[in-house]
Amino acid sequence: MIDCIFCKIVKKIIPAKILFESENSIAFPDISPTAPTHILFIPKKHIESLDKLSIDDEKIIGKLMIEISEFARSQSLEKNGYRIVNNMGKDAGQTVFHIHFHLLAGREFNWPPG
């Protein structure tokens, strides 16, 4: 997607601090962090949102979740815990329309989640 800011990060047209990269996905810090660790994990494939997943994306999203889990463990985030959030659409406050999962850690999180 030519006008997608996250696709431009994937293609390294826009610089970002890449914290994780695989054939499947890429991760970089949220520009407005809300926790000591606040990282966005995105598939390299342009998928607009959770609502736009197709059955063909099962492997991409399954792998992405495992990559988040492994990355968190590589940073010892599993010791105290972490929260994963995906915002789909207006009410959830989705602002970039390339599916992304927030990995939040480093503090205690409240309930409800927003």
# residues near a second copy by CB under 8 A:
49
Residue appearing with tokens 């927003």: 114
Reference 88, options 77, 101, 75; nearest CA is 101
d(CA 81, CA 102): 14
When binding is defined by CB under 8 A, the residue of 5, 8, 57, 97 that contacts a second copy is: 57
Positions marked catalytic: 100
φ and ψ of 18, to 5 deg:
-75, 120
Which residues, numbered 23-52, are part of the site for a second copy (CB under 8 A)? 34-35, 50-51
Contact positions vs a second copy (CB under 8 A): 34-35, 50-51, 53-55, 57-63, 65-66, 68-69, 72-73, 78-94, 102, 104-114
